[in-house]
Structure 1
Amino acid sequence: MLLQGLVILHTLAVIIFSIRILLRDNLSSAARLAWFMVMLFAPYVGVVLYLLFGEISVGRTVRRRHDQIFAKLSSIAASSMGSCEHNLEGNIEIEYQTAFRAASVDGFGTTLGNKAELLADAATTRSRLIEDIDNATESVQCLYYIWLDDNTGRSVAEALIRAAKRGLAVYAMADGLGSRKFVRSKYWREMRDAGVKLAVALPMKWVIDTILFSRLDLRNHRKITVIDGCITWCGSQNCADAEFLVKAKYAPWIDIMLRLKGPVVAQNQLLFVSDWLLNSGEAAPESFAVKAKEIEGGFPAQIFADGPTNRRGATPQLFATLLTLAKQEVVISTPYFVPNSTVLDAICAAAVRAIDVTMIFPKRNDSWIVAAASHGYYRRLLEHGVKIYEFRDGLLHSKTFTIDRGLSLIGSSNLDLRSFDLNYENDILLRDDEVTQLIYQRQQEYIAQSDPVTLEHVNAWTYPRRIWNNVVATIGPIL
């Protein structure tokens, strides 16, 4: 009798959740097949996993509020910035205009007259960032996915406290999961007591309250700092030391950061304000001051912002577009490589048409499951002519994408399904030979500290390892 009941329960679970999976028009075939496999072979575990991680949504209420906030902010900003579409014509080569249009997810257009400085390392970034905060005269806005109680985390908190005590408008926001310890620390309380306005992005309580309508692990992965509306920072570095104490055995964390001036600052600021309003519950402002002006001799750039409240597939579509634009060379670095078919096919297609495609991954990854999934794609990449390097001197956390040494994309987005579907991300797309060359040189430094991976290496892997890698890669669409 018990066995019969279990069989009935098993059958009902498979049928009900199979119907739900089939009703989802926006689910890829690979993800649908992966969920079917989980439901068939482990239905009870599969039901729990699907309830927690199956639906890529923040819920209708959050989506509606996000759309209302961003629509209002965009209209306010447009009155100050004007339309940016005309900036493409005559300022960017026609073949690159496609990339900037593909990057316009939140309505951001191309801005002109921007300047950027590539920082040397994590210590220099921390020093210059604190210097900017200490020199601020009006406002500071910052958002981090991970904010740790270490030298960098404490130094930034102390600088924000000093700014607030000078009477500046200071806003600080951290992700509820990535910074879960710091938002309960004494430094968070001290910032609040000093007058820093604080908010937690996607707090765990919010996720639990909406568990039936949301996915548990949706996160705000952005790294944004805006100073006086005139300076912004963009890249991969969290508010943490390179030693990254929570995962010290993988250290040092190798990141890349740009310090930018020009009209693109307003786009990053608009992005921060929208996140702030969404997570703090405050009403949208009636005005939005755009202070950054065009710099003579500056370059075209725009912010690429994606997340679960945006159009599905925007990030992989942009990556695929960039790969199709390449004429000679593409160099990519990413710590996490679990692509969908759109990106994987575009990478292989670029290599097949004789584009020199180089990919740089960390040799030791802090996520064992991502490492296995990534390795499952190595053979296909190598057989199509892609060059693979594994960085050996720490965890390469830089997310860089250079095309023909003239077009660059850097920021917070990885080449994995989390960045494609689950995380709020921010990147900057820019067209400038000088800045792209600096980023390209940094990529070459990564390669110099890496070991090449060849088909001979992959062929030498044991059968159990190859089977494990391919099993994990198979369920990659639902990771």
Structure 2
Amino acid sequence: MNILGHLSWGAIYFASEWIIRLVMLIVVPFRRSPEAAKGWLLFVFFLPWPALLLYHVIGRPNYPRWRRERFAKLPAAFAQVTARIGALSACQEPELPGNLQQAATLIQNLGRFPTMDGNDIALLSSYDGSVARLVADIDGATNHVHLLYYIFADDRTGWSVIDALARAVERGVTCRVLIDALGSRAWAPRVVAALAERGVAVYLVLPVGLLRRKSARADLRNHRKIAVIDGRIGYVGSQNIVDADFKPGIVNQELVVRVTGPVVQELQGVFVADWFMETQQVLESHELFPELPRTGNAVAQVLPSGPDYPEASVGRLIEALVHGARRRVVITTPYFIPSEALLNALSTATLRGVEVHLVLSKPVDQILVSLAQRSYYSQLLAAGVRIHLYRDKLLHAKHLSVDRRVSLIGSSNVDMRSFVLNSEVSLIIFNRDVNAELRAEQERYFATSEELSLETWRARPMTSKVIENIARLVSPLL
């Protein structure tokens, strides 16, 4: 007897949905955070087949096999570079109080690079000023210029950098540029053509395409912003190569670090590793890693993170720093979708008497993310966390200060995408003077912000609360 002949297609489809639900109930929680598992299982429960198809595409934060195999070749390919950096006399353990020593040990174990003494750190908060400084440094280059950016546009800002690179090539300087294929998709064809015509070696990072033999996943992006000039000057931070007002009705506010000294070699190391991942070319000449003199007194370290470094999570580092804080923590980020561990760390810090500030942007450019992050405000305010909403501009800067000892500035947001999916880079600085300068920048944010109160926030309309909490249910997938 043909059993299928007695079943309607509707009954078969109904049975298939329950089979998907039951199987995914076993598969999804495997090696996944509880928050992410809950988000996926909720999706599976309501829309089994769409959830199954999406899970097949982006369910695990892993690069394709070809890229993982290429990454496995990195240690051997860069053995000389790693040894050279590790042997530098500038390698220096930071002097920290006991409560922060474990966090420093964590950084050392998470990253591939040691802490370096003798660096000069300059914080650049002027959008056009940081672009002008970068262009001036490119104009002063004598050997090479390396740029790695999530967004590289062909607008006024982009052309100022393109023209500077063209002038450098004319002087005999080798220029290499990496651009994230999806982050720069609106401008990539024109930017790549313009750079190639001017003699710049340029590659799109993680290109995506249905017919590409080695297509990358659309959700796993290289979100880093790095510039290295002559192996002696480095830039890292939140700012892309694009006009501040490239999104209609929004003007970005950023923070960039210009650094000189031995730690620049670690930024160079991140660039050459990403260059190898895209081109399989090993860059390890002496000119790329010159002997660097002391230029200041800041101890600093670079932490690359992302799917290539599954254990080197910047989220872990932020949690550890918050747990180690004794006086004050200030977190600045445009996108805030915290893990349960970070929420607990922030709440515990306030109970220990730590002053905790969260600086977010009042103008938003991603509505769903904004709704999801708003759902956390009541919990944070009730715990004693002070929330400041920066007015007028989209505060796109990403940094953290702990007590008066540790500063973290880089490309990483405080959300699950930056913690798990994106390739990011952070500069951790152990220096009181830099921390004081960063604190002054944060005080300027406070003065230009609206501070939320628990009473006012709880009084918002019920419809807003419902929409925000629905968005929160899918926040681990954002």
TM-score range, shorter chain: over 0.9
Tell me if structure 1 keeps the 8 A contact 2:77–2:282. Answer: no
**Which of 4, 8, 18 is matched with 2:25 structurally?**
18
Residue of structure 2 in register with 1:248 after alignment: 248
Give the 3-state SS of the residue equivalent to 2:183 in structure 1. coil
1:397 aligns with 2:396: yes
Report deviation, 1:344: 1.3
Residue of structure 2 in register with 1:99 after alignment: 103
**Which of 57, 67, 75 is matched with 1:52 structurally?**
57
CA deviations over 1:145-164 (Å, ceiling 9, x no partner)? 01122111111111111111
Residue of structure 1 in register with 2:70 after alignment: 65
Tell me if structure 2 keeps the 8 A contact 1:223–1:412. Answer: yes
1:157 aligns with 2:159: no
CA deviations over 1:363-382 (Å, ceiling 9, x no partner)? 12111111111111101111
Distance 1:206 1:302 in 2: 39
- What is the identity, as a one-letter code, of the residue corresponding to 1:46? A
1:204 aligns with 2:208: yes
- Assess, with a 3 A threshold, how the Cα gap between structure 1 residues 301 and 464 changes in structure 2: closer, same or farther: same
- Assess, with a 3 A threshold, how the Cα gap between structure 1 residues 71 and 341 changes in structure 2: closer, same or farther: farther
Report deviation, 1:403: 1.1
1:270-309 to 2 correspondence within 5 Å?
A: 270-283=269-282, 285=284, 289-295=288-294, 297-309=296-308
Report deviation, 1:311: 2.4
**Which of 148, 151, 155 is matched with 1:143 structurally?**
148
Give the 3-state SS of the residue equivalent to 1:87 in structure 2. coil
- Assess, with a 3 A threshold, how the Cα gap between structure 1 residues 304 and 32 changes in structure 2: closer, same or farther: same
**Which of 181, 189, 201 is matched with 2:186 structurally?**
181
1:6-45 to 2 correspondence within 5 Å?
A: 6-22=13-29, 24=30, 26-45=31-50
Moved more, 266-275 or 174-183: 174-183
- What is the identity, as a one-letter code, of the residue corresponding to 2:54? L
Distance 2:25 2:90 in 1: 44
Distance 2:77 2:98 in 1: 31
1:316 aligns with 2:318: no
Give the 3-state SS of the residue equivalent to 1:27 in structure 2. coil
**Which of 230, 233, 236 is matched with 1:231 structurally?**
233
Uncovered stretches (5+) of structure 1, i.e. residues with no partner: none
Distance 1:364 1:207 in 2: 38
- Assess, with a 3 A threshold, how the Cα gap between structure 1 residues 47 and 310 changes in structure 2: closer, same or farther: same
Tell me if structure 2 keeps the 8 A contact 1:149–1:182. Answer: yes
1:329-348 to 2 correspondence within 5 Å?
A: 329-348=328-347
Distance 2:355 2:22 in 1: 47
TM-score after normalising by structure 1: 0.93
1:399-414 to 2 correspondence within 5 Å?
A: 399-414=398-413
**Which of 119, 123, 126 is matched with 1:121 structurally?**
126
Distance 2:212 2:18 in 1: 28
Moved more, 450-459 or 408-417: 450-459
- What is the identity, as a one-letter code, of the residue corresponding to 2:371? A
Residue of structure 1 in register with 2:3 after alignment: none
Distance 2:213 2:453 in 1: 48
| Aligned Cα root-mean-square deviation (Å) | 2.1
Distance 2:84 2:149 in 1: 29
1:87 aligns with 2:92: yes
Give the 3-state SS of the residue equivalent to 1:415 in structure 2. coil
Uncovered stretches (5+) of structure 2, i.e. residues with no partner: 1-7
Distance 1:230 1:470 in 2: 48
- Assess, with a 3 A threshold, how the Cα gap between structure 1 residues 143 and 21 changes in structure 2: closer, same or farther: same
Report deviation, 1:215: 4.2
Residue of structure 1 in register with 2:468 after alignment: 469
Distance 1:207 1:113 in 2: 49
Distance 1:230 1:295 in 2: 11
Give the 3-state SS of the residue equivalent to 1:295 in structure 2. coil
Distance 2:310 2:85 in 1: 26
Give the 3-state SS of the residue equivalent to 1:268 in structure 2. helix
Residue of structure 2 in register with 1:4 after alignment: 11
- What is the identity, as a one-letter code, of the residue corresponding to 1:192? A
Tell me if structure 2 keeps the 8 A contact 1:400–1:408. Answer: yes
CA deviations over 1:169-188 (Å, ceiling 9, x no partner)? 11011001011132200x42
Give the 3-state SS of the residue equivalent to 1:418 in structure 2. helix
Give the 3-state SS of the residue equivalent to 1:451 in structure 2. strand
Residue of structure 1 in register with 2:438 after alignment: 439
Report deviation, 1:8: 2.5
Report deviation, 1:234: 1.1
CA deviations over 1:403-453 (Å, ceiling 9, x no partner)? 113310001011000000000001100011111111111111111111011
Report deviation, 1:75: 4.1
Distance 1:199 1:46 in 2: 33
